[in-house]
Homo-oligomer: A and B are copies of this chain.
Amino acid sequence: MARVYNFSAGPAMLPTEVLTRARDEMVDYQGTGMSVMEMSHRGKHFVGIAEQAEANLRKLMNIPDNYKVLFLQGGASTQFGAIPLNLGNGSGKADYLNTGHWSVKAIKEAKRFVDVNVVADTKPENFTTLPAEGETTFSPDADYVHYTPNETIAGVEFPYIPDTGDVPLVADMSSTILSRPIDVSKFGVIYAGAQKNIGPAGLTIVIVREDLLGKSRENTPAMLDWATQAEADSMYNTPPTYAWYMAGLVFEHLLAKGGLEEMGKINERKAEKLYAAIDGNDFYRNPVEPAYRSWMNVPFMLADDSLDKTFLEEAGRQGLVTLNGHRSVGGMRASIYNAMPEAGVDALIHFMNDFAKRHG
Contacts and interface: CB of A to CB of B under 8 A. Distances in A.
A236 interface: yes
A222 B77 contact: yes
Interface residues of A, number: 70
A165 interface: no
Interface in A21-41: 22-23, 26-28, 31-35, 37-41
A308 interface: no
Nearest to A199: B37
Interface in A206-239: 219, 221-224, 236-239
Nearest to A108: B222
A219 B114 CA distance: 11
Contacts of A195: 238, 241
Contacts of A76: 237
Given A195-B238, A221-B221, A224-B221, A37 B200 contact: yes
Q: Chain A: interface secondary structure?
A: loop
A76 to B, nearest CB: 7
A33 B74 contact: no
Interface in A1-50: 1-4, 6, 8-14, 16, 19-20, 22-23, 26-28, 31-35, 37-43
A74 B78 CA distance: 9
A264 interface: no
**Chain B CB within 10 A, most for which of A19, A26, A201:** A201
A113 B219 contact: yes
A85 B75 CA distance: 19
A27 B34 contact: no
Interface in A65-123: 73-78, 80-82, 85, 109, 112-113
Contacts of A177: none
Contacts of A4: 32-34
B201 A41 contact: yes
A112 B221 contact: yes
B81 A238 contact: no
A195 B40 CA distance: 10
A181 interface: no
Interface of A: 1-4, 6, 8-14, 16, 19-20, 22-23, 26-28, 31-35, 37-43, 73-78, 80-82, 85, 109, 112-113, 193, 195, 199-203, 219, 221-224, 236-243, 246, 319, 321-322, 327
Given A1-B31, A19-B35, A78-B237, 14 more contacts: A1-B32, A6-B38, A11-B39, A11-B41, A12-B38, A37-B199, A37-B200, A43-B322, A74-B78, A77-B236, A202-B203, A221-B221, A240-B240, A243-B243
